[in-house]
Amino acid sequence: MTEHSTVTLETATPVISPDTQTVTEVEHYTDSLFRFRVTRPASMRFRSGEFVMLGLMGDAHPETGKQKPLLRAYSIASPAWDDTLQFYSIKVDNGPLTSKLQHIKVGDQVILKPKSVGTLVHDALTPANRIWFFSTGTGIAPFASLLREPETYERFDEVVLTHSCRDLADLKFGQELIKEARNDILIGVAAQHKLRYYPTTTREISPKMGRITTLLEDGSLFSDLGIAGFNATSDRAMVCGSMGLNSDMKRILENFGLREGANSDPGDYVIEKAFVG
């Protein structure tokens, strides 16, 4: 942190809760997407793929002047071994939280409740050869954690990330993630051998267009990757995206014979919605 940003932190951003963390990095991708990193509480433990509650103090109540925290569920987009916590967010101009959160700068503080939960975790899946991470939009966030988690490569021979977005610019976070994974000091070699990436756009023209559900059902996903198809013996899946994606994928995966899993009852696939900040 620079001296200048330390001064900004101390003078402009008072400590607002025992759960505050300091912003260490911010990168904007488009008018509607950005990522940021914050410090990690020293005692915080989580499993790669989980989410936490994160936010800012809301506006003062017009009569009482009291402020309440404005928190939303955010998937942690960095692995459990990382020193800092990364998040990937949409920006909504009239969104109660993201209209403000999109303006955070290095040195600012956010509120982070360190208790993490979630179903997109290895504990919720039984062993198999191949794992599929199906994501749309900011639903890629938990996979940014799992793709850099050594357990992913210890448990599976092949790891396929699909990411579908409307436009090409929306894919940039995922493209950088794949590069980082392949150069990672811990899992780089495993990722070079095992990790496959399948980006698609649904609106802007690109080399691969279409909703992942369509590409799955018409078989092009498999023919593009040279994979025979899904089956409950060899394939496991995690899904994170819009409600529509989640319900369509549930139907599709169950038609292939996969059974939904949970922390308490590991199965063949798990689903979590991409949270709207």
Site residues for ligand A2P per CB under 6 A: 136-137, 164-166, 202-203, 211-213, 241-242, 244-245, 248
**Residue whose CB is less far from ligand A2P, 121 or 245:** 245
**Residue whose CB is less far from ligand A2P, 79 or 142:** 142
Quote the least distance from Cβ 197 to ligand A2P, whole Å: 16
Quote the least distance from Cβ 220 to ligand A2P, whole Å: 14
∠ CA 127-82-117, rounded to 5°: 55
Quote the least distance from Cβ 199 to ligand A2P, whole Å: 11
Retrieve residue 263's tokens.
Answer: 């922390």
User: CA of 27: how far to CAs of 5, 30, 44, 60, in Å?
Assistant: 16, 10, 24, 28
**Residue whose CB is less far from ligand A2P, 10 or 204:** 204
**Residue whose CB is less far from ligand A2P, 20 or 164:** 164
Residue whose token pair is 């499993």: 47
CB 156 within 8 A of CB 195: no
**Residue whose CB is less far from ligand A2P, 70 or 168:** 168
Quote the least distance from Cβ 98 to ligand A2P, whole Å: 14
* Residue in the shown chain whose Cβ atom is closest to ligand A2P: 244
**Residue whose CB is less far from ligand A2P, 150 or 222:** 222
**Residue whose CB is less far from ligand A2P, 78 or 200:** 200
Quote the least distance from Cβ 97 to ligand A2P, whole Å: 17
Quote the least distance from Cβ 44 to ligand A2P, whole Å: 29
**Residue whose CB is less far from ligand A2P, 55 or 137:** 137
Quote the least distance from Cβ 201 to ligand A2P, whole Å: 7
Quote the least distance from Cβ 161 to ligand A2P, whole Å: 15
Q: From CA 185, how far away is CA 195, in angstroms rounded?
A: 15
